[in-house]
Chains A and B, each alone.
Chain A
Amino acid sequence: MRTLFRDGSADRVRSRNESAWLLPAGQGRANEELRATMRTFEDRDDVDAVIVGCGAGGATMAQRLARAGWRVAALDAGPFWDPERDWVSDEAGSHHLYWTEPRVITGSDPVPLGSNNSGRGVGGSMVHYAGYTPRFHPSDFETHTRDGVGADWPIGYPDLKPFYEAIEGELPVSGQDWPWGDPHRYPHTPHPVSGNGQMFQRGADRLGIVTRVGPVAITNGRFGHRQHCIYRGFCLQGCKVNAKASPLITHIPDALAHGAEIRPDSMVTSVEVDPRTGRATGVRYVRHGVERFQRAAHVIVAGYSIETPRLLLHSTSRRFPDGLANDFDLVGRYLMVQGAPQTGGRFADEVRMYKAPPPEVSSEEFYETDPAAPYKRGFSIQTVSPLPITWSEHFAGQGIWGPELRERMRDYVHWACLGALCEFLPLPDNRVTLADETDRHGMPVAEFSYSQCDNDRALMKAAQQVMEQILQAAGAEHVTTFHRYAHLVGGARMGTDEHTGVVDRDCRSFAVPNLLITDGSVLPTQGAANPALTIMSVAARAADRLIHHSTSTPPAHPTVWREHVRDSR
């Protein structure tokens, strides 16, 4: 299924997802008319699907279902962003892009949340992700069979492959031909490489480690009305240019054009279930201080790995006293983060890593289990380019302060930085539960407990060694490694039955037939890949199954909003 031309004309993408062509062609970054004339539903309307969360999973669902004629209301706790007005080209000024509601972190290796792993508002954390969009490898779907660790998915790589290809076209992804996992090509050619990427390539070449430019979801060529990247380096602060993909610009416009409602500033506090039928009836939510209830034929939860389990655990009833779809104590469990150490190398040369997008060059040479290594599974290596605040926090985290901190930071333009993603294993006690503490809605906040296992620690050490060797081979005068985490997946994983998973292979919950979960929390393993592309692809597959293979599909409504699409161009 090769649907794109290398020149980026992408006609076939346009025929199935018109988002990029619905964005303003000139000034402005949001299609204001499309938003102003958005279809809206009443709470009493029994919509075909209410979606909780408009990030990678929720927005993809909304676009697919709306195109199929479903009446969709997609709620998000945060704002409906306008990149021009709401985002800034500044590190500290981008704090509002993160989910900063209270949360408690525990365990032997507690994972700080907020900035790098949780989003807020329409677009979700893809608003501030770096932009890396690698596929998972075929091995990721059967780590238990192959390596005796982790879990096997109820679907295999071939089930997801057509959806990977579709989403790669819709983002679209730019990069060199990919030699790892299932070798494949990308619709857009690779971006030029900056100082940081050059240092990675130089060191890796000298060690015989294969690297590739990409894969990044930043357009490189004409694609609808998306603007070209200006290489300003603020990908993690929200792309004001509309060059880096997020669902806000890749799926929401097409969803609106097909009659979906995006309802921002709406905090869902519970999913309600009819005790007689055992079916979900809709969601309770708070908007502008008023509690409301949206009726729906399907409830689709896509709040990501912390908020999805929190919502389910908080949705108790006589039928589900321990939380919705939690009959077997699986909700919130097997939550994963990736070990994401960053290694800095200081060079006599000026690298100026803040110039150009942080995501540039990757290597998946160490992704698969090495039979000679004392650990299972692996890691990937990618360029990362921390801005000054994050960079100074790295040093401070090593106990550096005072004159030494200032002096290290005066070297800022001389540092190159690599990051690893280590595949930490899914463990049952790494989980979300409800804390005693409550948020401003009176809803118990999530407590996230995380503890590493020996395999996790061994992987981190191996990744650190390789990154330090690469930067030394490139000529660094000094290298240092900072320990940190990135990404979240799991917490409501898919399984073959209700004893192994919360949802089935199609993201339907085992316990409630019209309840689906379509976000990163359904992933049983995480590979050593950034999860965004896989989350979108899993959601696209779930939508496809729901639309074409569901026994309870609601009657399709005529797509009257087609007229609207033409008008808004």
Chain B
Amino acid sequence: MTARLPHRAITPGSTPQRFPGFDVLAEADAWDPVTAGVVLARVGPQPPLRFFSPAQEAVARPLFDLILDQHQEPRVPVFEMVDQRLAELATDGWHYGDLPADPQAWTLSLGALDQDAHQQCADGFASCPLEDQESLLRAFLDLGDDTWHGMRADRVWSLWSRYACTAFYSHPWAWNEIGFPGPAYPRGYKNPGVNAREPFEVEDRRAAHRDPA
């Protein structure tokens, strides 16, 4: 990887960078080959869809966009990454006694969400305007640990959000957005400590912080 084509740091949706110019992939030369193989595969083409049906895809894509606020390109291919995980049964193995194993829980819960959406939009979740999709998700989350279509809503949320977060925050574009350098072997870190940075790390340029609390 000596001859490197010039490229710019990508962030999901081309959001303005808090870490200007920070590009995880610019350091890929410093990664061990096994790790580089695993991480770089995420920025390459995704395998063919195998798990979700087209009807499920129509619900899952906008749901992931909603959870991760990805409404414009370039998108981290979260839907494709989750499809791959489920097709390959790369699950955590365990499931709640009152929910089936992950693949079936996905099938059931996407169907249930679409069913809810049909009460507002004739063609289901995919056809709902963004505001309606948001209000459907909010109403679902407001259920807390109540039952939703025979499943505990909080456990379905746990399923959806764990898969969504695992896909999105495993991607180098998301790392660019949050200032995380990704793989660190065999390089390691030489400057730990408060406000200490490595040469390849970039200072957060936020001046005054908005307190979300």
A residues with a Cβ closer than 8 A to B are 84-93, 95, 98-106, 110, 112-115, 192-195, 198-199, 230-234, 240-241, 347-352, 354-356, 387-389, 391-393, 396-397, 399, 401-414, 447, 477-478, 480
Contact = CB atoms under 8 A, between A and B. Distances in A.
Interface string B144-166: 00000000000001100110111
Interface-central residue, B66, B94, B194, by most chain A CB under 10 Å:
B94
Contacts of B189: 230-233, 355-356
A89 B161 CA distance: 23
Interface residues of B, number: 67
B165 A396 contact: yes
B94 A104 contact: yes
B185 A410 contact: no
22 contacts: A93-B170, A95-B90, A100-B91, A101-B93, A195-B193, A230-B189, A231-B188, A232-B184, A240-B32, A240-B185, A355-B192, A388-B180, A391-B169, A392-B168, A393-B166, A401-B67, A401-B137, A405-B69, A406-B69, A410-B178, A412-B180, A478-B212
B185 A349 contact: no
B131 interface: no
A356 B161 CA distance: 28
A357 to B, nearest CB: 10
B92 A389 contact: no
Nearest to A103: B94
Contacts of B137: 401
Interface in B118-175: 134, 137, 141, 157-158, 161-162, 164-170, 174-175
A394 B48 CA distance: 31
A352 B169 contact: no
B183 interface: yes
Contacts of A391: 169
Given A230-B188, A241-B185, 13 more contacts: A88-B34, A93-B38, A103-B93, A106-B97, A106-B98, A113-B93, A350-B197, A388-B178, A389-B166, A402-B134, A405-B69, A412-B179, A413-B178
A205 to B, nearest CB: 14
Contacts of B96: 104-106, 110
Contact of A350 (B15, B170, B194): B194
B35 interface: yes
B192 A393 contact: no
A348 B194 CA distance: 10
A98 B187 CA distance: 25
Contact of A407 (B165, B196, B212): B212
Interface of B: 15, 18, 31-32, 34-35, 38-39, 66-69, 90-98, 101, 134, 137, 141, 157-158, 161-162, 164-170, 174-175, 177-197, 201, 203-204, 209-213
Contacts of B134: 402
A112 B166 contact: no
A349 B196 CA distance: 10
Contacts of A408: 212
Given A99-B93, A114-B92, A406-B68, A88 B197 contact: no
Contact of A195 (B101, B166, B186, B194): B194
A198 B192 CA distance: 10
Contact of A234 (B94, B184, B203): B184
Nearest to B91: A100
Contacts of B97: 104-106, 110, 447
Contacts of A195: 192-196
A358 to B, nearest CB: 12
Contacts of A88: 32, 34-35, 38-39, 183
A478 B161 CA distance: 23
A349 B39 contact: no
Nearest to A100: B93
Interface-central residue, B18, B38, B183, B185, by most chain A CB under 10 Å:
B185
A110 B174 CA distance: 31
